[in-house]
Chain A
């Protein structure tokens, strides 16, 4: 019988959660990066 392995990052969709977390962090950085252009001008 095929068992479900909770440690496998692919089966648990852990990779997708990590990607989402990375997106949120990078999104904040991107907005801050773009906003600084305003202060300079």
Chain B
């Protein structure tokens, strides 16, 4: 019996050809970023191979006294807060109907999604037994009473929600018009679930530290850490959107249509207004907690001076800078304020998780060079993926503005 050769299904081959063509580089390879990031990523891969063969101790300065280092303190605890712009902006655009921010919503959500994927990935790198990360999901020792159970599920569900929010862009990229219609109709529901989940896990990350009361310096420990983490994720996320949006606008500015999107500075100044209010609320929370705990005498110590640097220098001062920049329309000052607010957020998260953690011990923790390399590798890889997607998908531009024909159009 002879068999007839099976003809390829109509439309299938063009899709594969389209995907193959999209894998080709879309820009010059010898750029300053590539020249710096490629060696770092290659070195980071080597360090990670060493980590998985010889264990965490071979590449980190972590000890039994300092079990959480740069991998948790920066990548997870700080990185997730920096991704807070996605839920804040999604709430503003889809729920509050502030349509003027629509042009930057996809880039912000994409950044949030990648941040969660890479920072959750970094969490796996920092676990002594990384294969156990799946336990809260598959039901092997659920650990209902653990805050990590709630954080793990919130992370997982929120990543799925962000994928739903971003899925219309993928459908447009592939030319799937019907799928795009269905996925776009899910956006509002996804945003509402996403905001709820973000509230939970941003606060949940702070709640992880509630059990470490004897280890955290009293100036930073408070039973209100969850609320502070949540509020700081709002101004941290918005500050990140301002800086990241500025960078994206400069690098991929050709992709945006200025006549349609209005003034970019107007958008950023509008975000600055929200950031100023969030910083103001956060500052008063800190002040109220300070008064409530009656910590006047602690201010006279070195830790007190460090606390003032964080709260006054990088919370109150950026708040005033934001207000002034918005009122007097100074985009340059606005970006400077955003950078200062991000330093404030970084200081706060690092103080709680590393610097003022086990503050009474003589032995101090300082990350090894390999920890810095792994952190940079995670960061650079995220930027590579972000750039790859922005150059191909309708993130900053409309679908009909994409250069190549879509598979379904062929």
Which A positions have Cβ atoms within 8 angstroms of B? 10, 13, 15-16, 19-20, 23, 26-27, 30-31, 33-34, 36-37, 40-41
Contact = CB atoms under 8 A, between A and B. Distances in A.
Interface stretch (B72-80, B112-120, B241-249, B285-293): B285-293
A11 to B, nearest CB: 10
Nearest to A36: B327
Nearest to B270: A38
Interface stretch (B170-178, B276-284, B307-315): B276-284
A41 B269 CA distance: 11
A40 to B, nearest CB: 8
Given A10-B294, A27-B280, A34 B288 contact: no
B316 to A, nearest CB: 12
Contact of B323 (A13, A23, A34, A40): A34
A20 B280 CA distance: 13
B329 interface: yes
A19 B284 contact: yes
A20 B106 CA distance: 38
A17 B281 CA distance: 16
Given A15-B291, A16-B292, A33 B327 contact: yes
B277 A33 contact: no
Interface of B: 266, 269, 273, 276-277, 280-281, 284, 287-288, 291-292, 294, 323, 326-329
Contact of A37 (B277, B288, B329): B329
Q: Chain A interface secondary structure, helix, strand, loop or mixed?
A: helix
Nearest to A20: B288
A13 B288 CA distance: 11
A10 B327 CA distance: 37
Contacts of B291: 15-16, 19
Contacts of B294: 10
Given A30-B323, A34-B277, 5 more contacts: A19-B287, A26-B280, A27-B280, A30-B280, A31-B277
Contacts of A13: 292
Contacts of A31: 277
Contacts of B284: 19, 23
A34 B273 contact: yes
A7 B323 CA distance: 38
Contact of A30 (B269, B276, B292): B276
B407 to A, nearest CB: 44
A17 to B, nearest CB: 10
Closest 7 pairs (CB-CB, A-B): A23-B284, A37-B327, A34-B273, A37-B326, A15-B291, A16-B291, A34-B326
A23 to B, nearest CB: 5
Contacts of B280: 26-27, 30
Contact of A41 (B266, B281, B323): B266
Nearest to B324: A33
B345 to A, nearest CB: 20
Nearest to A34: B273
A26 B320 CA distance: 13
B323 A33 contact: yes
A30 B277 contact: yes
B288 A16 contact: yes
A30 B278 CA distance: 11
Contacts of B328: 37
A33 B328 CA distance: 11
Nearest to A31: B277
19 contacts: A10-B294, A15-B291, A16-B288, A16-B291, A16-B292, A19-B284, A19-B287, A19-B291, A20-B288, A23-B284, A27-B277, A30-B277, A30-B323, A31-B277, A33-B327, A34-B277, A37-B273, A37-B328, A41-B266
